[in-house]
Amino acid sequence: MASSRSIGLRPIGFVQTEASNEELKHRLARSKIVVDRRLSIGLQGIGGFSHIYVLYWMHKMSESDRKVLRVHPRHRLCLPQQGVFATRSQYRPNPIGLTIAKLLRRTGNVLTVQGLDAIDGTPVLDLKPYDCWDRLDGIRVPEWWKGLEREKRRD
């Protein structure tokens, strides 16, 4: 590769939540995103959007976790391994989480959101509005993905 130079990011805020891992996984939890007060002005107008992308840093992943390149989807050993870039696994070279959360309220530098699956204390890297261009029709997903979804609906 042309370069392996490191890229430096700084958290723009942190997640605060009392939800259990189970609640986070099922996207039921309410959480707060406490944004650095010096960046509050960057939130101006965000309340006009019902949903936002939250990009966050999965800070519990170790250097060796970042070397994992294949995983069994959702830890199902019965399913063939897939490359991490073909999954939303937390194991990946740059463990950036990407979740669409419902924006319930903004109070100063604090956003209250629903559906964020990041654990308490997670550093937040960026927030972006979700808009109509993010809503695609006619997408294709693999069979193993459809199978997992069918199972979920039977739960």
Based on CB atoms, which residue is closest to its own copies, 19 or 58?
A: 58
- What residues from 54 to 83 belong to the interface with its own copies (CB under 8 A)? 55, 57, 69-70, 81-83
Three-class SS of residue 99?
A: strand
Based on CB atoms, which residue is closest to its own copies, 19 or 43?
A: 43
Nearest to 114 by CA among 44, 55, 43, 54: 54
Which residues are CB-contacts of 92 (< 8 A; sequence separation ≥ 6)?
A: 66, 68, 84, 85
Based on CB atoms, which residue is closest to its own copies, 30 or 128?
A: 128
d(CA 116, CA 26): 10
Least distance between its own copies and beta carbon 123 (Å):
7
Tell me the site size for its own copies, rule CB under 8 A.
Answer: 71
141 binds its own copies (CB under 8 A): yes
Site string for its own copies, 18-57 (x = CB under 8 A): -----------------xxx-x-xxxxxx-xxxxxx-x-x
Are 35 and 13 a contacting pair, CB within 8 Å?
yes
34: number of CA atoms within 13 Å, CB side?
A: 7
